[in-house]
Amino acid sequence: MKHRLLIIDTDEKMLKEIITYLEDKYYDVFTATNIETATSIFQEHDFDLIIYDLKMTYDSRLSLIELFRSERPDIPIIILYTLGQTNEIIEALRQGAVDYLMKPLVSFDDCLALIKITLLKNNDSDNYHQASSFNNDCEQARLELDMNLKILKSDQKAEMLAQLQMLPEPKVRIGDYLFQHTIIRSDTPGSDFLDFFEIDERYIGFYIADISANNNDSAFITMMLKSMINQPLRAYRKHTDNTIVNPSQLLEHLNQEMIAAAIGKYTSLFYAVIDRKENKLIFSLGGQFPRPILLNDNKRFTFQEDSFPVGLFKWAEYEQQSVPLKMPFTLGMFSHGVLNVLNDQSVNNAEEKLTKFCSNHYISIPDLVKKLQLTAESSLSEDVSLFLVQRS
């Protein structure tokens, strides 16, 4: 069955061209050049996806998103934007838009790729149900990466926005566990990323990553990383793969995928899973430096020193370890940038300082920022990430 699309834009020439292109790709396409026609068509037909231009009507477009989603909460909406519309994009995303595409559309192939990605993510897509295997999820990720690289390279503001949108809330409690973080950005596009998520009732997953260099592809690589981790997460929830709860397997998967993507970059990574049933931390290190700091019932657990970054060596292997968690505990994770802030030539001394900071199981991210003497005026050569997981 054809997917039915509604495209709303004032550019009639572009609409005629995209209708011809997408109908040739076996899509059923409806178009509108004004809001009144768009709402009328929307009421008459059941659409799988809506695309519309942010510049059409500034006063009503966000209420239009609310209208569409109030009647069809599941319908994905892609917005078309031009340079300089960062604030409008943020507001549209808050209203429920799921993605964005820059105008002018240099190639309809880019638009088609984003349509495919969005429909794959949406539960109503036949292709989504067909993509039930782990391998198909990998193919989906490669499609996402190709599309996102083109978008991000075209607009540095969109690059910064994409990184912000991907980060979790700065302070979240999942059951008995408190997750809090901040990333203090340097003047160049950010190279640090972190995330945490509830896998199921038993497991919580989280990671911190430090990309090999600040450059224009940083947001793309963080997006790639998040997408590649979402693959085994989806597979686990569909009961087809257990990689997401086995940190060493996940790092091996990410290593092979990043090398296959041929992006020419690597990332240091620490990935861990909290097993709430057995009350233990399962983890694997992928070259993360400085090493995480775990204060377990006021005793420091020492993490291994030697491990390989992810995406650098095809033959790299990753060790999986576990440690029982005792109350209270604090796990502190830091990106390489914190070493520059501490300005200590000895890594051991730097880790000792970080251990002292984490010895207070009630320490907060603002406390850490203060202890590190970071301010709005701080000049940073690289990002500084601070990530705490605690139970007291």
Mean pLDDT of the chain: 82
pLDDT of residue 18: 92
pLDDT of residue 240: 86
pLDDT surpassing 80 at residue 15:
yes
SS3 229: helix
Q: How confident is the model at residue 58 (pLDDT cuts 50, 70, 90)?
A: very low
Out of 35-44, 91-100, 357-366, pick the least confident: 91-100
Residues of the chain above pLDDT 70, percent: 80
pLDDT of residue 344: 64
Question: What integer is the mean pLDDT of 74-89?
Answer: 77
Out of 38-47, 145-154, 162-171, 261-270, pick the least confident: 145-154
pLDDT of residue 221: 76
Out of 17-21, 234-238, 284-288, pick the least confident: 234-238
| DSSP symbol at 308 | P
In the chain, what are the domain boundaries?
A: 3-130, 171-391
Output 72 or 325, whichever has higher pLDDT: 325
One DSSP character per residue, 310-375 reads: BTT-TT-----EEEE--SSEEEEEE-THHHHHHT-S-HHHHHHHHHHHHTSTT--HHHHHHHTT--
Could you give phi then psi for residue 91, rounded to 5 degrees?
Answer: -65, -40
What span, in angstroms and rounded, lies between the C-alpha atoms of 34 and 129? 34
Out of 103-112, 136-145, 201-210, 297-306, pick the least confident: 136-145
Out of 68-77, 133-142, 322-331, pick the least confident: 133-142
What span, in angstroms and rounded, lies between the C-alpha atoms of 23 and 145? 25
Q: How confident is the model at residue 190 (pLDDT cuts 50, 70, 90)?
A: low
Q: How confident is the model at residue 125 (pLDDT cuts 50, 70, 90)?
A: very low
Q: What is the pLDDT of residues 235-285, one digit of tens each?
A: 898 888 999 999 999 999 999 988 887 777 889 999 999 999 999 999 999
Instruction: Answer yes or no: pTM beyond 0.85.
Output: no
pLDDT of residue 62: 47
pLDDT of residue 318: 96
Q: How confident is the model at residue 103 (pLDDT cuts 50, 70, 90)?
A: confident
Question: What integer is the mean pLDDT of 65-81?
Answer: 85
Sign of CA dihedral 102, 265, 143, 239: negative
Residues of the chain above pLDDT 90, percent: 41
Domain 171-391 of CATH type 3.40.50.300 = no
**Bridge partner residues of 75 (DSSP):** none
Question: What integer is the mean pLDDT of 314-329?
Answer: 94
pLDDT surpassing 90 at residue 331:
yes
What span, in angstroms and rounded, lies between the C-alpha atoms of 235 and 231? 6
Name the CATH superfamily, with its identifier, for domain 3-130. Answer: Response regulator (3.40.50.2300)
pLDDT surpassing 50 at residue 232:
yes
Annotate 70-90 with b (16+ C-beta within 10 A) or e (fewer): eeeeebbbbbbbeeebeebbe
Question: What integer is the mean pLDDT of 206-229?
Answer: 77
pLDDT surpassing 50 at residue 126:
no
Q: How confident is the model at residue 155 (pLDDT cuts 50, 70, 90)?
A: low
Q: How confident is the model at residue 32 (pLDDT cuts 50, 70, 90)?
A: very high
Equal CATH topology for 3-130 and 171-391 = no
